Amino acid sequence: MSVNLLIRQATLVTVNARDEVVENGDLAIAAGRIVGVGTAPAGFAADRVLDGRGRIVLPGLINTHTHLSMTLMRNYADDLAFWPWLLERIKPLEDHLVADDVRIGARLGLAELIRGGTTCFHDMYFHLEHVADEVARTGLRARLCGALFDNSGQGAALLRAAVDLHDAWHGKADGRVTVGLAPHSAYLCSPPYLREILQEAERRGCGLHVHLAETEREIADSLERHGVTPAQQLAELGCFRVPTVAAHGIYLSEADQRLLRDGGVSVAHNPGSNLKLANGIAPVQQLLDNGVNVSLGTDGAASNNNLNMFEEMHLAALLQKWLRRDAEALPAREVLRMATIRGAQALKLEAEIGSLEVGKQADVIVLDAAQPHLAPRHDPVALLVYSAQAADVATVIVAGRILMEDRVLQTIDEASLLAQATAQTRSLLDRAAR
């Protein structure tokens, strides 16, 4: 399956420590890893050569917060405030989810991720063994985290399922699938339940994936109920002893931000979802200035309503400039890092993915840059953040395997997929209406 690949004469945006861009360079891949950046090593024999002329090659994008299977709920509940959206529309539908909804929803999401140049995603959901199965088959890389909450009497069963997922899937699919635990939030998990989750995470050496400081009401409720902010509460419970990715992080005080920095917590910024639900704008530049790692995510397709990391990059840059009243805030170079190497750091995978460097996994995307909206070529990094579209991604490679070539998916039958997704969505709506 893994062949020696050579991409010839491309623009290589490496996102290495010096943000190097190599013009007219070759990228060599062997045994699933990058073996040459700029030039192929001596004696390298390619089984396949891809023409890189007019193309930009960069590390695969890393979506650090999503609920992949929610693609079936895309455009199901829109133009609603966060709480009625979640509690009156999404949750009632999720109560009727069966394994096939999760599987087909994930398959649809995987096709969208590949098409948009995302090679690794960080998920929080239910029945994830079916998502793991789809990931293994279709070739992406994923960190899957079973969603946990104990506000409705399901706490023990959900934790059992999440732990079983870890024991069955962590490190599987040639290491492409890894597993963490996802306490939904401090507001849907009681302190004793959070302690129990932490214990399981520490026992297994896995990380946490949690929603944090997404709405103003979440902060006000936490102060009223517990006398501390959600970030303080998680810190005091010891949650940050394990690697933690906190999604959203919109309402974080300076003291909260210090707790995140000291705990090595990464914030997954989801600008599209945050704007659509009118939740707010995360203080990304301030977090970075305070030494907090910030990565990028789409959140689920029910609140975005797509899984397009190019759109998130664009929004992230523009929002910080306005939030700070400073056009120099969050430059393109930093945004691209959030979508790649900082995402890898959030998942503690920076030794393996997130940049084009010799020795790393060959998770690589190739952009077709010979198009009117991408010409002329002054600065390839600005091009990626401000001008490029997800549909410009032509070829996607994960661990040296080509998952899409010249816009044709190689591991998913797209025609039958769309029919399956439509039928499965109808079945879910029928079950919910009964």
CB 332 to Zn ion: min, Å: 26
Q: Which residue's beta carbon is nearest to the bound Zn ion? A: 299
Residues paired with 293 in a beta bridge:
266
Q: What DSSP letter does each residue of 27-49 carry, written as one string? A: EEEETTEEEEEESPPTT---SEE
Nearer to Zn ion, 150 or 299 (CB): 299
Alpha helix stretches (DSSP H) within 324-384: 332-339, 341-346, 380-382
First to last CA, the chain: 46
For residue 73, the minimal CB distance to Zn ion (Å) is 12
Q: Which is nearer to Zn ion, 298 or 395 (CB)?
A: 298
Query: Under the criterion CB under 5 A, does residue 214 sit at the interface with Zn ion?
Result: no
* Structure tokens belonging to residue 8: 């010839």
Cβ proximity to Zn ion: between 112 and 299 the closer is: 299
- For the residues of 170-211, what is the DSSP string, one character each? TTBTTTTEEEEEEE-BTTTS-HHHHHHHHHHHHHHT--EEEE
Is 299 near Zn ion (CB under 5 A)? yes
Which region among 2-10, 215-223, 256-264, 295-303 touches Zn ion (by CB under 5 A)?
A: 295-303
Number of residues that bind Zn ion (CB under 5 A): 1
CB 426 to Zn ion: min, Å: 25
Residue among 299 and 363 whose Cβ is closer to Zn ion: 299
Sign of CA dihedral 338, 339, 341, 347: positive
3-class secondary structure for 217-250?
HHHHHHHHHHCCCHHHHHHHHCHHHCCEEEEECC
User: Smallest gap, in angstroms, from Cβ of residue 299 to Zn ion?
Assistant: 5
CB 35 within 8 A of CB 29: yes
Residue nearer to Zn ion on the CB measure, 31 or 81: 81
Cα 403 vs. chain centroid, distance in angstroms?
18
Strand segments (E) across 289-368? 293-296, 364-368
Least distance in Å: CB of 76 to Zn ion? Answer: 16
Q: How far is the CB of 68 from Zn ion (least distance, A)?
A: 11
Smaller CB separation from Zn ion, 68 or 396? 68
User: How many C-beta atoms lie closer than 10 Å to residue 299's C-beta?
Assistant: 28
Q: x/- contact string, 77-116, with Zn ion (CB under 5 A)?
A: ----------------------------------------
Q: Which stretch binds Zn ion (CB under 5 A): 105-113, 187-195, 198-206, 292-300?
A: 292-300
Task: Of 400, 333, 298, 391, give the one whose Cα is nearest residue 66.
Answer: 298
Instruction: In angstroms, give the least distance from the CB of 184 to Zn ion.
Output: 9
Coil, helix or strand at residue 105:
helix
Would you say 119 or 185 has its CB closer to Zn ion?
185
CB of 68 or CB of 140, closer to Zn ion:
68
How far apart are CB 85 and Zn ion at their closest, in Å? Answer: 12
In the complex with Zn ion, the residue whose CB is nearer, 122 or 141, is 122
Q: Which of 370, 423, 364, 391 is nearest to 33 (CA)?
A: 364
Nearest approach, Cβ of residue 300 and Zn ion (Å):
6
Applying CB under 5 A, which part among 135-143, 181-189, 298-306, 321-329 lies near Zn ion? 298-306
Contact string (CB under 5 A) for Zn ion, positions 331-370, x = contact: ----------------------------------------
Q: Which two tokens stand for residue 51?
A: 């023409």
Is residue 256 within the footprint of Zn ion (CB under 5 A)?
Answer: no
The residue written with tokens 């026992």 in the block is: 203
Listed residue (363, 357, 304) closest to 114, CA to CA: 363
Q: C-beta of 244: minimal distance to Zn ion in Å?
A: 15
Binding site for Zn ion (CB under 5 A): 299
